[in-house]
Amino acid sequence: MAIAKRRKVNRAIILAAGNSRRLFPLTKTCPKCLLGINGQTLLERTLSALVESDIKEVIIITGHGRFRVEKAVAEFNYSGWVRFLFNPFYAVTNNLVSLGLARPLMDDGFLLINSDLYFDNRILFKLTEAEGDCLVIERQKPLGEEEMKVKIEDGRIVDIGKDLLPSVASGEYIGMAKFLARGGSLLKEKLTEHLARNGYQEFYESAIKDLFVPIPIKPVFTDGLPWIEIDTPEDLAKAQDLGI
């Protein structure tokens, strides 16, 4: 029972504010999270996985197409379970600002999921069952400049950033994480510090990086389970063939 309590979080935060220009014209009026893959939108698939994981509350950070997202959630019959926070500056800020809006909700711990992930549900289940604060890491794919790379030493993550050299990186952070109460409270503090320094163009991973010294952040590996981040029309086409 003590182990289950140590692993458990009850809230998920989904980042869905961006305008996804690399997918225009598909996302000119439609938020990326509402793009359909194999008969189901990205957002609906993620919410279904969170239901199966027994998450009690979901917070969606919206921006581009906010009302379409809210309408879609109502049509999914998830209205009483999902709340929304709106980032009015989504067009001119990066996702650190969007995540920063949820700071009052972080003290009890939470799951963090980027809304443009198309993933095998077993990846989420591995994360929820893992002990401690964790980032989900892909370690089998080639790394380039665009990937959010991580360095792992002695079983814990010690660095993260797109600027990490692939030659020293251990894998890619896919955009899914879990923070327990201490990690959530500390991330809240670090986000506040970055925002006070006008970090409006930063990725939220820059605040996560500040956690690596005070607390252990461990990797949860995808280990061959399929997933893809949807950034381009080519990604959409690949997602159709993942078989999930």
Structural domain spans, the chain: 2-240
- 51-84 per-position pLDDT tens digit: 999 999 999 999 999 999 999 999 998 888 999 9
pLDDT at 6 over 70: no
Q: What class is the 2-240 domain?
A: alpha beta
What percent of the chain is predicted at pLDDT more than 70? Answer: 97
pTM > 0.75: yes or no: yes
The C-alpha atoms of residue 95 and residue 174 are separated, in whole angstroms, by 15
State residue 207's pLDDT score: 98
**Cα dihedral 158, 164, 165, 168 in deg (nearest 10):** 0
CA dihedral (142, 148, 153, 159) in degrees, to 10, reads 150
